[in-house]
Chain A
Amino acid sequence: MSPRVSRQGLLWTSGCLALVLLPHIGGMPPWVLILCGIAAIVRVSLAAGGRDAPPTLLRSLIALAAIALLFVQFHTFNGLTAGSALLGLVAGLKLLETRTRRDVCVMILLIYFLSLDALLVDSSFWLLAYLLGVCWLTSATLLRLTVTEPGPAWPASLRYAGRILLQAMPLALMLWLFFPRLTEPLWQLTDNDQGATSGIGETMSPGDLSDLAVSDEIAFRVHFFGLAPPAEQRYWRGPVLDQFDGRVWRRADPDGTAAAGLRTEGPEYRYRISLEPYPHKWIFTLDRPTAWDAATHAQLTSDGMLIGPGPMSLGLTMIASSQPRWRDPEALPEAARRRETALAPAGRNPRTIALARALHREHPDERDFVTSVLEMVHSQDFFYTLSPPPLESKDPVDEFLFDTKRGFCGHYASAFAVLMRAGGIPARVVTGYYGGTFNRYSDYWILRQSDAHAWVEIWIDGQGWQRIDPTSAIDPRRVDRRLRDEQAAISLANVDLQSALPWFAALRLRTDALRQLWRERILRYNQDSQQSVLALLHVPDPDAEKLVFMLAATLAAALGWLTWQVRYELRPPPRDALRRAYAQLCAKLAGVDLPRAVHEGAEAYALRIAGSRPELASAVGALCRRYNELRYGPQATREEIAAFVRRVRAFRPRGSRAS
């Protein structure tokens, strides 16, 4: 029979459980957390009254009911959410029946697993630091409660558990660095849509982008190896939308791989892009991608989109190259031309179509036609605003072009593409991101959801698809001055502070740099990173085998160090050090003409010095008294002796026979 656990032990165990459940708030069903809380309170108060756990029958009934309720709620115990809820529930129920040391051991194991569980859901640095603290407290509790004799008190237990934790760190680091990672998960996850955030969607109808435009969330970060492209080329290509029903632009079914005729030109930019999670397959790249990480298994479609094998629900980091200019000398196939000039069912947006036809008659040359449309946008009173009036009629393009004349990139791209198609020029809308903020603290660009953009590509014979950004044609004077104010009103905390306090913007960039470092170096640490670590350590031709060798070698070294360290701590306390320090003190005093007589004890020596050199009395008196305490008092600890040695070293008697 395992010994009973004290009330204090129960209190500590409950405390550890509470701490480990804290990050689960929001993840677990609230009633599970409440049940755990009630269990803790009931158990501790029962123990306070000197009573035992509630009767077995009652406990079994509660357990059955709770587990049944959980099943009703989730229909499964599989998967992360249901699994951790079950784990929390079991921990709470176990606490209710905790009686002996054996029960506490089970509780502690549950708490350890709940810590891991929290890390699977959230992966911030702060959570890791917090859980390290919880692990420390939990280990101290275990240490305290598994000792049979009156063992170390709580402070000593905490110190000792902390020491063990610190000694475990280098070993854990070696394991983490060199333990081979899997390329594929062991089995497919059931709930892998976690972390998917809003972003650019599969359709666009002017108005849809308004909520994105003000969202401050980060879409992705990019580091350029070498120079970054100039601003007018920083278009990040996303979904290409080429079907229009009069209101909504949609994406036609992508047709296979890249067009053969495309020739990219100009300087090539190589970059590492790390995408935040989103629920779609496409991968944003700098317009136009020429090479990308083969490990992503991504394919380039004929309309220039990079499509991954599955949703980017965990985000992605890859290295890719792009060239900002291209041409396609081949002719557009007839089917494609028909598709890309198709307009909505007849009769939609009639005024726009009439306008396009009129302009086209006036400017039969393709280029003149395009220029005239852009000129119209520039010269007429079109405004750029993030809060345009709603377009509610069945001809939204007409309404925008002729009535409201206020909109953002989506309105302009949509209207421009319709005008082009009506004029017989193949046109399609491309969505993605434009611009970005440079983080000068860590050499990368941040693209936020507020950088989402839409532009148009038109087909020009002999050149292929070419990018036109109608939004950029708006007279800058008519870009809504209230834009900043509106953004400020919506995300006041960020934007307003940023414009008011330059250092706040700098701080924000710095924290983002750290967050990005954490993401790139820690969270996305993978096989490739392991190879580069090996390369950094000058291991020739790093491969999986060398990795295992490295793991073995560093582990052996770390264990060797540990063996030495635990023995080193075992050495007897340095009484000799104390004696040496005292001899040093005497030598220093002898240096100022106050040698100790052979027969003199420390106390007598201090008294004699106090008599002859009063200015030294207090310092020497204190040192000699301390020496006697350490030497003849109760067992001095290593720290106390070390402190004494330091005091003697710092002691500088002044004056000599001259004075």
Chain B
Amino acid sequence: MARRFGLDALPHTVNRRRIYILPSGFGLALAALILAMLVAALNYNNNLGLAFAFLMTSIALVAMHHCHRNLLGLVVDAETEADGFAGANAAVAFTLENVSGLDRYDVQIRCADDAVGTASVAATSRRGLVVYVPIARRGVRRLAQFELATRYPFGWFRAWTYVQAAVTIHAAPQPQGERPRSGASVALGATLRGDQPGDEDWAGLRAYAPGMPLKHMAWKVLARGEEAAVRTYSSPAADPEWLDWYTLAGVPIEARLAQLCRWVLDADRAARPYGLRLPETSLGPDTGPAHRRACLRALAAHDEAAAA
């Protein structure tokens, strides 16, 4: 499929030529019903019966066009990277935009057989849709395409299209393990970083300069009409902590990664700067969600062959 149409740039507008449509099981039942109607009406030579059977045929044909149209011109965008933990779901975020003047109902996005989300998008509006992809194993999983589908109206037909845009799912190991995360890494960290302003303890006010974080602004001081100031903190425990692959020598690889994952999450929750050291890379030390994500992705990507 990808070879035929190439890769799709996101956001992608659903193209007429790439919408496929086939009757559903219910549609086949309807077809059988219409056939029975035709036979009955023809047999009884009944023109009104025939008219009704033809009306049903026509309604089905119109419904087919409407089903096709329910996808036509829909604009879909997706976050191409998603994160999750093995044994849980990865949330892949999509955005559906309906630029037309008609409401679209029951648009389904399918990333995998077991990862389906459904949404309706009102006329000239946009809405997000999160599809939860269940993850069995640690690793980096690349979904080469996703499917947009609909059965609206009536459920007699199923129209679908494939969007050739890859979504990468970084499945970090399931966080596990109770080993303490102190050790040799701390000393190494101390030499790298001196006392750095941290977020822990109140250390007085400093004059405000552009670029300082607004969340530390001393608003009460400013409200008194004095010079703008920011609060500063210092943290005695601000020494970066290293979460090191090599401290877990002798532990099986997956268990090691699971333990590291646990540590990353704990350290992140404690909001201390931490670094992650793996055989192929070392990250940080740093804090914040971006760093946490980078660490988890590194854990997901570690020696994928081993995970399989």
Enumerate chain A interface residues (CB-CB to B < 8 A).
Answer: 80, 105, 109, 112-113, 115-116, 119-120, 123, 127-128, 131-132, 135, 139, 142-143, 146-152, 160-161, 164-165, 167-169, 171-172, 175-176, 179, 181-182, 185-187, 189, 314, 522-525, 559, 562-563, 566-567, 569-573, 635, 637-638
Contact = CB atoms under 8 A, between A and B. Distances in A.
B72 interface: yes
Contacts of A161: 153
A113 B36 contact: yes
Interface string B138-169: 00000000000001111100000000000000
B61 A559 contact: yes
Contacts of A559: 61
B222 to A, nearest CB: 36
Interface stretch (B44-52, B229-237, B249-257): B44-52
B40 A120 contact: yes
B72 to A, nearest CB: 7
How many residues of B sit at the interface, in one of the four size bands? 35 or more
A314 B45 contact: yes
B196 interface: no
A143 B43 CA distance: 31
Nearest to B105: A151
A512 to B, nearest CB: 19
Closest 5 CB pairs of A and B: A168-B58, A171-B58, A175-B54, A146-B155, A172-B58
Contacts of A638: 101
A161, A179, A524: most-surrounded residue (chain B CB, <10 A): A179
B47 A522 contact: yes
Contact of B154 (A139, A176, A571): A139
22 contacts: A112-B37, A113-B37, A115-B52, A120-B40, A132-B55, A146-B155, A148-B106, A149-B106, A152-B103, A160-B153, A164-B153, A165-B59, A172-B51, A172-B54, A172-B55, A176-B47, A181-B45, A182-B42, A189-B43, A522-B47, A562-B62, A635-B125
A15 B179 CA distance: 66
A169 B69 contact: no
A185 B154 contact: no
B12 interface: no
A639 to B, nearest CB: 10
A574 to B, nearest CB: 8
B284 interface: no
B204 to A, nearest CB: 49
B65 interface: yes
Given A152-B105, A164-B153, A171-B62, A105 B26 contact: yes
Given A164-B63, A185-B43, A573-B101, A169 B33 contact: no
A570 B42 CA distance: 38
A573 to B, nearest CB: 4
Contact of A119 (B36, B42, B45, B46): B46
A175 B42 contact: no
Contacts of A171: 54, 57-58, 61-62
Nearest to B44: A120
A570 B54 contact: no
Interface stretch (B116-124, B260-268, B299-307): B116-124
A366 B52 CA distance: 63
Interface string B5-22: 000000000000000000
Nearest to B53: A116
Contacts of A150: 120
Contact of B58 (A120, A128, A175, A522): A175
B212 interface: no
Contact of B46 (A120, A167, A573): A120
A523 B57 CA distance: 20
Contacts of B51: 128, 172, 176
Given A164-B62, A172-B57, A119 B52 contact: yes
Contact of A573 (B47, B66, B69, B124): B124
B93 interface: no
Contact of B59 (A160, A164, A569): A164
A570 B49 contact: no
B30 interface: yes
A635 B29 CA distance: 39
Given A151-B106, A567-B72, A135 B55 contact: yes
B48 A523 contact: yes
Interface in B89-105: 99-103, 105
A187 B122 CA distance: 51
A570 B33 contact: no
Contacts of A562: 61-62, 65
A572 B99 contact: yes
B184 to A, nearest CB: 55
Contacts of B100: 570-572
Contacts of A523: 47-48
A358 B118 CA distance: 102
A180 to B, nearest CB: 10
B294 interface: no
A113 B33 CA distance: 7
B49 A120 contact: yes
B217 interface: no
Contacts of B45: 181-182, 185, 314
B39 interface: yes
A336 to B, nearest CB: 40
A160 B152 CA distance: 12
B44 A123 contact: no
Contacts of A148: 106, 118
B154 A143 contact: yes
Given A123-B46, A186-B42, A572-B101, 20 more contacts: A109-B29, A112-B37, A113-B37, A127-B48, A128-B51, A135-B52, A135-B55, A149-B105, A149-B106, A149-B119, A151-B105, A164-B153, A176-B50, A176-B54, A570-B69, A570-B73, A570-B100, A571-B100, A635-B123, A637-B101
B73 to A, nearest CB: 6
A572 B106 contact: no
Contacts of A179: 50, 54
Contacts of A569: 69, 101-102
B41 interface: yes
Contacts of B46: 119-120, 123
Given A113-B33, A146-B155, A131 B62 contact: no
B73 A147 contact: no
Contacts of A146: 151-155
Contacts of A80: 44
Nearest to B16: A567
A235 to B, nearest CB: 32
B131 to A, nearest CB: 14
